[in-house]
Amino acid sequence: MEEERRVKIRSEEDKMASIIAEKVSLILFKGLLPEIRRIREKVERLEEEVSAIKSMLEERGERGGRREGGNDAVRRTLAREGFLVVGEASKRLGLSPAALVEEARRAGAVVLDAGGDAVLMTPAALEEFSQLMREARSRDPEEAARHMGKFARAFEVLRRGGMIIYDGKEGRWSMIE
């Protein structure tokens, strides 16, 4: 009988210890949550920076360690991707937006103003982009962007900049000239 009482007391002590441990961990977790969020944001920023550095190092490795001029970097990127979003590419290529646009023009790119940003496209990419845009029938911008494939980012930037609109009469997306 005394053994049953000890077991009962022991199980009540275990329950109480478990409840206390749970409450303490909740208090610690709630108190540390803002700090965890701050650390996570820093890690994400660092990952982005590391990714950009890796890209630059890979480009240098492809060049055999020689310093590539801005024009060469713009030409290579346009040849590889078909387009550049100025606000994003200027940071990646280490050029000011104005210098990037000038280099792209010299490389034969078409400059599409996007109200505060710009998209630079090779003539061939612009033709492909225009064809895909004409084929996109959904008035939903996200669905149309998915239809654009590799040009989805250019489509979004131009649409947000007011350069691409959905023409309800014709039932397709159109670029404002």
Confidence at residue 53, expressed as pLDDT on a 0 to 100 scale: 78
Confidence at residue 56, expressed as pLDDT on a 0 to 100 scale: 73
Residue 115 confidence (pLDDT) above 60: yes
To the question of pTM greater than 0.85 for the whole model, the response is no
Confidence at residue 66, expressed as pLDDT on a 0 to 100 scale: 37
Q: Where are the domains of the chain?
A: 1-67, 70-175
Residue 119 confidence (pLDDT) above 60: yes
The CA-based angle 16-18-19, given to 5 degrees, is 65
Paired tokens of 143:
């669905």
Residue 9 confidence (pLDDT) above 70: no
In Å, how far from its chain's centre is CA 12?
53
Q: What is the dihedral of CA 70, 71, 76, 79, to 10 degrees?
A: 140
Strand pairing category for 118-121 and 172-175: unpaired
For 144-163, the pLDDT digits (tens) are 999 999 999 999 999 999 99
Backbone angles phi, psi at 79, to 5 degrees: -65, -40
Residue 64 confidence (pLDDT) above 60: no
Q: What is the DSSP string of 36-83?
A: HHHHHHHHHHHHHHHHHHHHHHHHHHHTTTPPPPHHHHHHHHHHHHSE
Please give the average per-residue pLDDT across 97-123, as a whole number.
Answer: 91
Inter-axis angle of helices 123-135 and 152-160, nearest 10: 80
CA distance 64 to 79: 19
